[in-house]
Chains A and B, each alone.
Chain A
Amino acid sequence: MAMKRREFLRDTAVAAGAFTLGFVIPGKVRAGAGEGAVSSAPFTPNAFIRITPDNQVTIILAKSEMGQSVYTSLPLIVAEELDADWQAIRVEQSKVDPAYNWPAFQMMITGGSTSVRTSWEALRQAGATARAMLLAAAAAAWGAPAARLVTADATITDPETGRSATFGEMAAAAAQQAVPADVTLKSPDRFRLVGKDQKRLDSELKVTGRATFGLDVAAPGLHYAVVARSPVFGGVLQSFDASRAEAMPGVVKVKQVPTGVAVIADSTWRAIKARDALDLTWDEQGNGGVDTDQMLQHYRELAGQPGFAVQEQGDFEAVAAQADQVIDATYEVPFLAHACMEPLNCTVHDRGASGGEGAEVRVGTQMQTADRAMAAGILGYEPEAVDLHTQFLGGGFGRRAAAWSDYVAEAAHVAKGEPWPVKTTWTREDDTRGGQYRPMTLHRSRLALDAGGRPLAWHNRVVGQSIDGFKMLGMEPENFDNAMIEGLKTQPYTVPLVNLEAHMTTSAVTTLWWRSVGHTHTAFMKETLFDEAAHAAGVDPMDYRLGLLEAHPRFVALLKKVREMSGWGRELPAGTGLGVAIEESFGSIVAEVAQVRVKGQKISVEKVWCAADVGFAVNPLGLREQMESGIIFGLSAALYGEITLKKGRVEQGNFNNYRVVRIDDAPAIEVEIIDSGAAMGGAGEPGTPPIFPAVGNAIFAASGKRLRSLPFRLS
């Protein structure tokens, strides 16, 4: 079916003998991989393969590698259908081109845990079509029926004659073959690579220090910049005196940019030192009083007032009046910074400023198309005149899909009109205080239970800011933002009546998607609330959930799996408890059990068991790793993460006061995968949401203390 809507192109722009396939949906058609090949046509190609006569198979990666392993899992899919030699695959990062757009937004984006599931079909077809053309070429050359030929490890063999040729030897002839109208994909039982544990292809680069992250970009004449930004959100520069800074060693230039004052020097350190010597006066635009304690107080007041009705299934108050008991609980989560290991940075060379053409941008980004357009607009070029090179990302977690391309835009302003490339680096403090946070959010939930403890009606009122990134994508929320209620409309528990209300607030603090987005708080609220309900009903929390999931066999299977893995119900030492949680997010369902020990005020997470159902795991090893990573990422926020503001200033700055989990407080994690065969879901984010409530519920089991705000504190 899919093939009928699409067609393959042969790329004439590559060197003779190289065989390149661009996989496209028709529209105005063009070759995709060639130098300077750019089109404005609205089509949606998915992948490229390049096979050279030396039998090098290169797979072009159109997604950003930020730890989630697309550098391995996407080429794996192509290699499977192509029957390439997996050990000899080369991966090349794509350029910015409509050919690589994510259809949903007509731009290149790596996010939403979508890379594998949205590329799967197209990458398989790309591989299978290339293989079919190689076979056709060999069949013609040997006078043998193509159906008789077999492929493995980038080699074609005729079992009857014993003749064989490498893909490279057949590359030139394959490029002359007609593109088949239809290809047969492998049946899953014939997969040799997919569905089996595959180690990463980028390990050696990364253990030898040879991987080039954005911050490692080198270029002749490279200059280094840091920017002094407003100490409060939304502040504007009133005046500045750079005379002391300009006199410091190595300082090349001090200039005003929209976000503040940039110091450009011959090394990062000299730029940082000179920035300290700037004299700056800011107009705080009335934001010098922003205070998260006061904001939270305001949220609590709003929680007592009716909000916008997002979903209304009936008269909650009437049901509650008849209920046996009503749980009324408020859950609160703070602003969170992403704190990617690699601080934000971007290198820009305005080549046009010194007689060249256009510009070059080298950056770790999750959003190439938008970033390039932004840089081009600032520099005064067409987007196509800006070469954007995606580097390895030292973490993304959503921060590098930045609202209004903040760090790329700023770097473009810094480098605009300069004859040399400039690398603008954010220090850790700049990065922590730079905003684009997970929004501070409050949920007030009421759950009415019958005499048996089963839910009759649920009323949830959420208070919080919307996510700026949605506005950038043109999804201007009016009364609520989907992230505020993420997952709640489709929550799986049997509840006859669910009403959802929202108060969407505003503040000067900027907000963004943070690994698993709204699920970071909706799952915390829901899974803590239903744990409270289980205890109110006097039922074991695992059994209570199972009893409300009759219509959801995938959830049931996962809960039973973690029940078994964790030895749920076993005797535990005093002060130790188990907590369970389950959440569907990004098309996947993940259940987790945490074992927590509470001693005085100290919370130790000793072990986590995780069962994940993503439909089908393309690379089970990579999936287990993403679960481990998502759990530790969430745990950092559950135990420590909190951005607070006083007098408009962010109080945290670095890892000393924005703490994260270290190896000595990292639990052992066991992950099991259930391949249910359901539609494929994501991997990068779904491991994160359940860990917040699983730990909170375990704290309750261990200590009898119900903690309803994050980070968890027993004081």
Chain B
Amino acid sequence: MPLNLTVNGQQHTVDVEPDTPLLWVLRDTLGLTGTKFGCGIAQCGACTVHVEGKTVRSCRTPVSAVGNRAVTTIEGLSADGLTHVQKAWIEEDVVQCGYCQSGQVMAAAALLAANPKPSDADIDKAMRRNICRCGVYQRIRKAVHRAAELAAADSTAGGA
């Protein structure tokens, strides 16, 4: 059954079973492999994407449930250049194997959009849904704070 889907601002028509998880439509049908498969049961966060700006575990989101809401993946997170989160991640040398990091970046971006100055406790609460087997958690904490600083500096510089 053909379904319409908006991903990173682009319209797609995909012919898949309605119960197909959004994850596999992104990866196998649309070739957007930045979104990762880690567990398939909403446990690890590797598959985190945004639907209308809110984090969603795409492995447990049937594509039919998305409707015409806008999906953003890691590939579409920024229209030009790197986001504050990505810059902070590079500055703090967060990544190791990197497999969890698309999901971590998407989760952190959503956290900062909702809470521009999160505390450590806020970060732990929001980011506990994302597993990192390389264990880079303390660098993630630091990088979220750094991203918040970068965003704040930018909005000041912009006269906002």
Contact = CB atoms under 8 A, between A and B. Distances in A.
Interface of A: 65-69, 199-200, 202-213, 215-216, 218, 224, 249, 266-270, 273, 339-343, 392-397, 425, 427-428, 621, 625, 628-633, 635-636, 654-656, 660-664, 666, 668-669
A666 B29 CA distance: 36
A394 B36 contact: yes
Contacts of B40: 427-428, 654
A202 B98 contact: yes
Interface string B107-127: 000000000000000011101
26 contacts: A66-B97, A199-B93, A202-B98, A204-B86, A207-B82, A207-B90, A207-B95, A207-B98, A207-B102, A208-B34, A209-B34, A209-B74, A218-B33, A269-B16, A341-B44, A342-B97, A394-B36, A395-B97, A395-B134, A425-B37, A428-B39, A633-B133, A660-B131, A663-B128, A663-B132, A664-B125
A545 B35 CA distance: 48
Contacts of A662: 128, 130-131, 137
B135 interface: yes
A31 B101 CA distance: 38
B138 interface: yes
Given A206-B95, A654-B43, A632 B38 contact: no
Interface in B6-28: 16-17, 20-21, 24, 27-28
Nearest to B101: A206
Contact of A428 (B21, B38, B98, B105): B38
B94 interface: yes
A636 B134 CA distance: 11
A68 B96 contact: yes
User: Among the interface residues B28, B29, B134, which one has the most CB atoms of the partner chain A within 10 A?
Assistant: B134
A341 B38 contact: yes
Given A207-B89, A656-B43, A218 B98 contact: no
A663 B132 CA distance: 8
A655 B44 CA distance: 7
Contacts of B24: 267-269
Given A655-B131, A664-B125, 20 more contacts: A67-B97, A203-B93, A203-B95, A204-B82, A207-B82, A207-B89, A208-B82, A215-B37, A268-B28, A269-B28, A394-B98, A395-B133, A625-B93, A635-B135, A654-B43, A655-B38, A655-B41, A655-B43, A655-B44, A666-B138
Contacts of A210: 34
A206 B125 contact: no
Contacts of B95: 200, 202-203, 206-207
Contacts of A428: 38-41
Interface in B75-102: 75, 82, 85-86, 89-90, 93-102
A655 B29 CA distance: 26
Contacts of B50: none
Contacts of A630: 135
Contacts of B127: 663
B20 A269 contact: yes
Nearest to B20: A269
B158 interface: no
Contacts of A342: 36, 38, 97, 99
Contacts of A66: 97
B46 interface: yes
A281 B136 CA distance: 43
User: Among the interface residues B16, B29, B135, which one has the most CB atoms of the partner chain A within 10 A?
Assistant: B135
